[in-house]
Amino acid sequence: MRIHLSIVGNVSSDIVNDVAKTLSEAFQAEVSLSYINSIPLDLYVPSRAQYRADAVNLWLSMKFSKVLNKVDFLIALIEYDAYVPGLNFVFGLASPYLKLTSVYLYRLKFMLPSSNEGKKLFKERVRKEVMHELGHLLGLEHCPNIYCVMHFSNSIMDTDRKSWKYCNLCAHKIKSLGININHEYIL
């Protein structure tokens, strides 16, 4: 599997390295990187102080159209906040038909202790969201198992409760696609 990781805004190298390592280990993925300073302002909704996630995904698909022809998936780590109509916010948004997902880090920083434990927890939250959104790109739906990474997170507490691993049922669905997944990433 080939995955392009696009970093948008000020995302720490610790987070980028952890996500790249996780994807590489979990799926034996080849991970490439690129960096973007910002998102076009016309995708920002001032009245909400958020970006429109579905519009961001369309923009990413145009910006990376040549890259998307060479990789299986694109994952964008974005430092900002975003929403889609009908929801107050999203942690991430997968667009399987575009072969890409965006992960928004802003709300993953909520309720973090200001210590090394906070940095560790933030890294875990980002890892969970990346694995969740990639699961959607692979065709997985939300899972009823509250510990599976594919369980829907309605709040940061839901994210903290679940693992960054796939349950046996979700892992089986991934394997049925002919995709290898490291057993250490299965509950």
Q: What confidence tens digit (pLDDT) does each residue in 28-37 have?
A: 999 999 999 9
Regions in the chain scoring below 50 on pLDDT: none
Q: So what's the pLDDT on residue 40?
A: 97
Question: CA quadruple 1, 185, 139, 57: dihedral positive or negative?
Answer: negative
How far is 5 from 2, CA to CA, in rounded Å? 10
The structural domains of the chain, with segments of one domain joined by +, span 2-178
Give every CB contact of residue 87 below 8 A, 6+ residues apart in sequence: none
Residue 129 annotated to the active site: no
Q: So what's the pLDDT on residue 161?
A: 97
How far is 86 from 88, CA to CA, in rounded Å? 7
What's domain 2-178's architecture? Answer: 3-Layer(aba) Sandwich (3.40)
Residue with tokens 């969201």: 129
Q: Are 18 and 25 in contact (CB under 8 A)?
A: no
Catalytic residue among 30, 79, 129, 133: 133
